[in-house]
Amino acid sequence: MSGARGTQKWHDIELAAERRHIEFLYGRLDAERAAVNSEMTGVLARSSTETTEDLWQREVATGTLSARLGRLRVADSGLCFGRLDRTGGDLTYIGRIGLFDEDDDYRPLLTDWRAPVARPFYTATAANPEGVTRRRHFRTRDRRVLDFHDDVLDHGVAAGDEALLAALNAPRADTMGDIVATIQSEQDEIIRLGHTGVVVIDGGPGTGKTVVALHRVAYLLYAHRERMSRRGVLIIGPNTGFLRYIGDVLPSLGETDTVFATPGELHPGLETDVADPPLTRRVKGGLAMVDVLKAAVADRQELPETPIEIELDDVTVEIDAEVAARARARARATGVRHNQARPVFRDSLILDLAEQAVDRIGGDWLDTREVPELAGDLRADVRSELSRSRALSVAVNTLWPRLTPYGLLVELYGSPARLATACAGILTDDDRDSLAREAGSAWTVSDVPLLDEAVELIGPLTREDGVAERLRRAERRYARGVLDILDTEEDPDGEVLRAVDLIDSELLAERQEERDHRTLAERAAADREWTYGHVVVDEAQELSEMDWRVVMRRCPSRSMTIVGDLAQRESPAGASSWGQMMEAYVPGRWTYRRLTINYRMPAEIMDVAGRVLSDPSMVVPTSVRSTGVRPWARACSPEELAEVVRAEVAAVDGEGTVAVIGPAGLDLGVPVVTPREAKGLEYDTVLIVEPAEILGGVAGEADLYVALTRATQRVGVVHTSALPSSLVPVLVPWS
């Protein structure tokens, strides 16, 4: 007893000391926050009569201070979560941010978890302690230390992963939490990879690949902030529910310049979650659609079947197929996009038609070698008249119309003739017919990369270009007005100093454009031309070849973290291998890592899920825990189904989050999500309804595997038809 009492007394003394120390760290956090707030107040209080350059510098300073305040605020909860005791007696406290003693040569008081010196907190083991004798984990709530436990690494064995198991067994919340306090060695190796190009993280359900990818973003922004933070981060997820679920992770780590989007939201102004039928989805996702769209644009660059007459004051000229063909060839030879080449087409017509008019007006009496000035004047007059001709504008609109991405696809899908022309020699008849649809149909997720590709071929929306130019003109007018007001200022020597000597209206207009008070994320999300510092793609196995073209355009630097599991692929246009997708864009320049340990599901659930996969190449991850609770199955009649499901949901009410997963269209009196909607999410309890119907769907095996791997504690199956044979031997009958 005395030994136990002594151990408890030592623990209590240590706990009290740690509480005092972490209270001291919070005091330093509050002092730093107050100092930044004071500096911000000083910056904002500066005189409004400063020069334009001073105003710009003030805005930059305000942005920098706001970012610092944001990073200090997120540290309020769980500021310090660990301690390393090193050989020689040095102590290193590990936390969400770094704090330093400015009075003691910036001695570190708290080390940021991303710093290299903090790495042994995640990687040290009894076999390889990395100079660490003890690793201490703090259990906190808000600002209070509730308890701690130690991993002693200098006795040959570690004390176990109590912090990890406590986190795994804790009830799930509505949003994903960070794992900064419980990162495991194989995860930490990926998070800290020095490679800043494309990293593919492959892993089965529950391996933590999503949260590893998010922590990798936080690490990269810490290690390469100057280069990456200016452009922000784009995170692409499978559905809006998933993005809501992970949305708090990066802000909790102090990173807020992030845009979240589904594949159906990657074209600004369009949001859709409508899926095409499988065949159409496969066709639209294939690279052959690039050639189809090129052919569709070329088909809109037409030649007249009969000559088009253009009446002028003194003569009528004609645009025949030969004239139009020459103009078309000149416009295409520029290599610019369709809408940008339109003026070249028009100017070429004017040149040829002017020559035609001179020939017809002059006839035999006008010899241009003898009266070149007369011919030149006549040619100039005709060109001027043609440039104002309404008939010529109508002809240009017919032969080389202004196109929009939306209009191009609507007219392509709705016209059998245009589809036949665009798809000739590229798609089979069945594939071509799968693209046809009635005008007014909803845009689908698979249309988004096609719309984006269309912009590459035809140029930005003409309407948007017009609005942008009007805004630029307004900014220039405003800037000129400001310069007029400032034009009589004097310099310190008493000489008149004209504002235009210091800054012209164009530069001042640019400054006005820079003073956009939207956040970086808001500006990036609204701008198709924005390129990101880093891109994360989750459930990447679902992206088609056309989707990847959009993603690559958004990140020319190819700084990306790609996350996925081929066993969960649902899309017929998705990846069958990582090499198939990556080698097309970054050949030989991508890094592959695989996570093998399942942290989410106990072994009992993972054993059932693994039975669904028929492909022996799909490796099931190994679970780190077992609960002794086996998944069960309950049969009922169709008439009883809704009542049984409601009763089972009620039975686990109050025991964490619950999801009912089933095929689309079920009306059970409780919310039901499809496997596709549940992808990437996790719940304490999952009830799977009608697994045979799920298995019989287009992506049946993958969908059932997804459904079975969403639970962290319990899985139940309710069915009216026979169970799939793979589940019969591993599900416990309900009783």
Does 334 score more than 90 pLDDT?
yes
* Mean pLDDT along residues 671-679: 93
Does 270 score more than 80 pLDDT?
yes
The rounded distance, in Å, linking the Cα atoms of 52 and 682 is 52
pLDDT tens digits, one per residue of 52-69: 666 777 777 776 777 777
The rounded distance, in Å, linking the Cα atoms of 482 and 457 is 40
* Mean pLDDT along residues 569-595: 92
Does 498 score more than 70 pLDDT?
no
Contacts of 16 (CB under 8 A, 6+ apart): none
Quick count: other Cβ atoms within 10 Å of Cβ 541?
25
Of 668 and 106, the one with more pLDDT: 668
Does 464 score more than 50 pLDDT?
no
SS3 percent helix, strand, coil of the chain, rounded to 5, is: 45, 15, 40
Q: 131 lies in a domain?
A: yes
- DSSP calls for 488-552: T-B-TTS-B--GGGT--HHHHHHHHHH---S-HHHHHHT-TT---SEEEESSGGG--HHHHHHHH
Of 245-249, 262-266, 419-423, 618-622, the one with minimum mean pLDDT is: 245-249
Q: Taking each helix axis from N to C terminus, what angle separates 405-414 and 288-299, rounded to the nearest 10 degrees?
A: 90
Q: Give the pLDDT confidence score for residue 488 in this predicted structure.
A: 40
347, 329 in Cβ contact below 8 A?
A: no
Looking up tokens 């302690």 gives 129
Of 521 and 275, the one with more pLDDT: 275
Q: Residue 193 corresponds to which tokens in the numbers above?
A: 């990879």
The total number of structural domains in the chain stands at 3
Residue 463 binned pLDDT confidence (cut-offs 50, 70, 90): very low
- Mean pLDDT, the chain, whole residue set: 83
What end-to-end distance do the CA atoms of the chain give, in Å?
A: 45
Residue 176 binned pLDDT confidence (cut-offs 50, 70, 90): low
pLDDT tens digits, one per residue of 391-449: 999 999 999 999 999 999 999 999 999 999 999 999 999 999 999 998 777 899 999 99
Task: Give the HSE-up count for residue 700: Cα atoms under 13 Å, Cβ half-sphere.
Answer: 13
The rounded distance, in Å, linking the Cα atoms of 692 and 722 is 7
The CATH number of the domain holding residue 647 is 3.40.50.300
Residue 198 binned pLDDT confidence (cut-offs 50, 70, 90): very high
Can you name the residues that pair with 634 across neighbouring β-strands? Answer: 718
Q: Which of 144, 170, 196 is the last residue of a domain?
A: 170
Cα–Cα distances (Å) from 280 to 285, 292, 425, 430, 674, in that order, read: 8, 14, 18, 10, 21
- DSSP calls for 670-688: S--B-HHHHTT--EEEEEE
Q: What 3-state DSSP class applies to 315?
A: coil
Of 248-252, 300-304, 534-538, 625-629, the one with minimum mean pLDDT is: 248-252
Quick count: other Cβ atoms within 10 Å of Cβ 160?
10
Q: 554 lies in a domain?
A: no
Counting residues of the chain whose pLDDT is more than 90, the rounded percentage is 48
Q: Residue 652 corresponds to which tokens in the numbers above?
A: 């686990």
Parallel/antiparallel/unpaired status of strands 308-311 and 534-537: unpaired
Residue 50 binned pLDDT confidence (cut-offs 50, 70, 90): low
Does 376 score more than 60 pLDDT?
yes
Residue 225 binned pLDDT confidence (cut-offs 50, 70, 90): confident
Q: Which of 348, 375, 399 is the last residue of a domain?
A: 399
Parallel/antiparallel/unpaired status of strands 80-86 and 91-95: antiparallel
Q: 51 lies in a domain?
A: yes
277, 203 in Cβ contact below 8 A?
A: no
Q: Residue 202 corresponds to which tokens in the numbers above?
A: 């492959």
Residue 468 binned pLDDT confidence (cut-offs 50, 70, 90): very low
Length of the chain: 735
Q: Give the pLDDT confidence score for residue 306 in this predicted structure.
A: 95
Q: 607 lies in a domain?
A: yes
Of 147 and 321, the one with more pLDDT: 321
Of 10-24, 135-149, 338-352, the one with minimum mean pLDDT is: 135-149
Q: 545 lies in a domain?
A: no
Residue 237 binned pLDDT confidence (cut-offs 50, 70, 90): very high
Q: Residue 694 corresponds to which tokens in the numbers above?
A: 């799920």
The rounded distance, in Å, linking the Cα atoms of 653 and 609 is 24
Q: Give the pLDDT confidence score for residue 134 in this predicted structure.
A: 87
Contacts of 415 (CB under 8 A, 6+ apart): none
Residue 221 binned pLDDT confidence (cut-offs 50, 70, 90): confident
Q: Residue 342 corresponds to which tokens in the numbers above?
A: 């339109």
Residue 550 binned pLDDT confidence (cut-offs 50, 70, 90): very high
Q: Residue 34 corresponds to which tokens in the numbers above?
A: 């107050």
Q: 136 lies in a domain?
A: yes
* Mean pLDDT along residues 341-356: 94
Does 686 score more than 80 pLDDT?
yes
Q: Give the pLDDT confidence score for residue 371 in this predicted structure.
A: 58
Q: What 3-state DSSP class applies to 145?
A: strand
Of 574 and 229, the one with more pLDDT: 574
Contacts of 718 (CB under 8 A, 6+ apart): 633, 634, 636, 641, 644, 645, 648, 687, 688, 689, 690
* Mean pLDDT along residues 496-509: 42
Q: Give the pLDDT confidence score for residue 684 in this predicted structure.
A: 92
Query: At CA 52, angle to CA 46 and CA 54, rounded to 5?
Result: 40
| Torsion angles phi and psi, residue 275, rounded to 5 | -105, 140
Q: Give the pLDDT confidence score for residue 466 in this predicted structure.
A: 46
The rounded distance, in Å, linking the Cα atoms of 389 and 349 is 12
Q: What 3-state DSSP class applies to 236?
A: strand
Residue 206 binned pLDDT confidence (cut-offs 50, 70, 90): confident
Parallel/antiparallel/unpaired status of strands 658-661 and 683-689: parallel
The rounded distance, in Å, linking the Cα atoms of 555 and 563 is 16
Q: Give the pLDDT confidence score for residue 173 in this predicted structure.
A: 54
Domain, as residue range, for 141: 1-170
Cα Rg for the chain, rounded, in angstroms? Answer: 33
Q: Taking each helix axis from N to C terminus, what angle separates 447-458 and 338-362, rounded to the nearest 10 degrees?
A: 40
Q: Which of 151, 170, 189 is the last residue of a domain?
A: 170
- Among 635, 691, 638, 684, smallest CA distance to 661 is for 691
Does 368 score more than 70 pLDDT?
no
Cα–Cα distances (Å) from 314 to 92, 284, 361, 380, in that order, read: 92, 52, 7, 14
Q: Is the dihedral of CA 379, 383, 386, 388 positive or negative?
A: negative
Q: 481 lies in a domain?
A: no
Q: 281 lies in a domain?
A: no
* Mean pLDDT along residues 13-29: 92
The rounded distance, in Å, linking the Cα atoms of 577 and 203 is 13
User: What is the separation of C-alpha 560 from the centre of its chain, rounded to a whole number of angstroms?
Assistant: 10
Q: Give the pLDDT confidence score for residue 43 in this predicted structure.
A: 76
